[in-house]
Amino acid sequence: MANPDEGPIEDHVLKEPLDLLLLSLDERVIVKMKNDRELRGKLHGYDQHLNLVLGDVEELITVIEIDDETYEEMYKTSRRQIPLLYVRGDGVTLISPPSKNPEIDD
Measured over the CA atoms of residue 13, residue 14, residue 19 and residue 23, the dihedral's sign is: positive
Whether 5 has a pLDDT exceeding 60, the answer reads no
Residues 39-91: pLDDT tens digits? 999 999 999 999 999 999 999 999 999 988 999 999 999 999 999 999 999 99
pLDDT band for position 7 (cuts 50, 70, 90):
low
CA atoms within 13 Å, Cβ hemisphere of 28: 10
Q: For the chain, give the percent of residues with pLDDT over 90.
A: 59
Round to whole Å and give the CA distance between 100 and 106: 11
Residue 36: what pLDDT? 87
Residue 15: what pLDDT? 82
